[in-house]
């Protein structure tokens, strides 16, 4: 019998989109799968739509997040994982689309080469225009996988990886964050496990970009979303700086990724959040106290100028001067 793959899809008020996602699952050339949809409390017509799909194909299951579980997509992912029976796990969002040959190409690779995870390329597309705007080419080597990931040379989206269940059974999605959950999840796995990965240089999953997505929340400056991204990036930065095995260039690149997440906090939130984050940053950036104080004071001054005038005045250029402190 063919190896079973469990596809886990959290959803919330996506009745207008999840049908296309499920159609892409039904179109898979590889047939031994189960699709576990976990509803986070939808109030649209998701339940009516899923009733049609579960009747159409018994491999599709429809569950509701238990009331004693924390609300959010991550709790739904974890609950779906607990229900899963497959030897391999494919997480998928309820607004994305799989290539019709996704599962077959991934499972063929993982069985022939014996790896823990198979990673493919990803394409993003705007919902309205149906045009691709970026392709994430994910190609690395196993000895470089962690550092290539956290420095942004590869991009492991939730949807672009097929995991061997045994490789991730000790890990779950952090239910206390609403942004960068895939970054946090993959970082914890890669730093704690000796993962053997395989790569397919082909776009096999298509991520929909629209205003109601979590990435849309981040682009709109939703504070909780920004803070989550900053927290995860700061944790990664601390890990890299503390480890002697990473080069100065790798540390600099990791800091650069952190600062990229920090920028929206500077421009889109209260100065109090910025000051608090600067205190946390001071704990992990080793720089002489007087130099840090001067840098900090100038940054706050530039932020205040930005808040009142909306003029940059070298704000971000000054922010990146911090990169020199770890070279």
Residues 6+ positions from 6 with CB-CB distance below 8 Å: 33, 34, 36, 80, 81, 84, 85, 86, 88, 89, 90, 165
CA count, 13 A, side-chain hemisphere, 54: 12
Query: Is the domain covering 5-210 a CATH 3.90.550.10 domain?
Result: yes
Contacts within 8 Å (CB) and 24+ apart, 209-214:
209/124, 209/125, 209/126, 209/127, 209/133, 210/95, 210/126, 210/127, 210/128, 213/95, 214/73, 214/178, 214/179
Instruction: Please name the residue that has the structure tokens 């600062």.
Output: 259
Rounded Cα distance between 60 and 238, Å, is: 42
Burial of 169 (0-12, 13-18, 19+ CB in 10 A): exposed
Write down the pLDDT at residue 28.
98
3-state secondary structure of 96: coil
> What is the reported pTM?
0.89
Q: Domains of the chain: which residue ranges?
A: 5-210, 221-326
Cα 159 to Cα 111, 125, 172, 182, 243, distances in angstroms:
19, 14, 16, 9, 30
Instruction: Please name the residue that has the structure tokens 């492991």.
Output: 156
Contact 96, 206 (CB under 8 A): yes
- Running along the chain, 327 residues long, what does each successive block of 10 average in pLDDT? 92 96 98 98 97 97 96 96 97 95 94 90 74 61 86 86 95 93 95 91 86 52 85 94 88 91 84 87 77 84 86 84 70
């Amino acid at each position: 019998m063919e190896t079973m793959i469990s596809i886990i899809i959290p959803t919330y008020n996506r009745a207008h989109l999840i049908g296309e996602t499920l159609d892409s699952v039904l179109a898979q050339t590889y047939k031994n799968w189960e699709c576990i949809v976990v509803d986070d409390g939808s109030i649209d017509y998701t339940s009516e739509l899923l009733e049609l799909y579960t009747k159409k194909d018994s491999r599709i299951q429809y569950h509701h997040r238990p009331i004693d579980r924390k609300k959010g997509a991550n709790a739904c992912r974890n609950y779906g994982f607990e229900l899963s029976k497959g030897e391999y796990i494919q997480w998928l969002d309820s607004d994305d689309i799989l290539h019709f040959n996704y599962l077959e190409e991934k499972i063929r690779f993982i069985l022939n080469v014996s790896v823990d995870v198979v990673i493919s390329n990803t394409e993003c597309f705007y919902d309205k225009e149906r045009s691709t705007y970026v392709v994430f080419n994910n190609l690395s080597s196993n000895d470089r996988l962690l550092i290539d990931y956290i420095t942004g040379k590869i991009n492991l989206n939730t949807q672009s990886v097929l995991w061997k269940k045994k490789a991730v059974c000790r890990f779950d999605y952090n239910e206390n964050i609403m942004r960068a959950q895939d970054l946090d999840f993959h970082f914890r796995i890669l730093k704690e496990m000796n993962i053997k990965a395989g790569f397919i240089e082909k776009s096999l999953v298509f991520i929909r970009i629209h205003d109601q997505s979590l990435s849309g929340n981040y682009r709109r400056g939703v504070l909780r979303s920004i803070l989550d991204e900053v927290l995860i990036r700061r944790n990664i930065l601390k890990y890299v700086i503390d480890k002697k095995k990473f080069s100065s260039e790798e540390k600099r690149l990791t800091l650069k990724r952190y600062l990229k997440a920090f920028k929206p906090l500077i421009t889109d939130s209260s100065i109090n959040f910025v000051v608090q984050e600067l205190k946390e940053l001071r704990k992990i950036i080793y720089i002489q106290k007087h130099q840090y104080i001067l840098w900090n004071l100038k940054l706050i001054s530039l932020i205040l100028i930005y808040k009142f005038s909306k003029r940059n005045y070298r704000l971000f250029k000054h922010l990146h001067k911090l990169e020199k402190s770890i070279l």
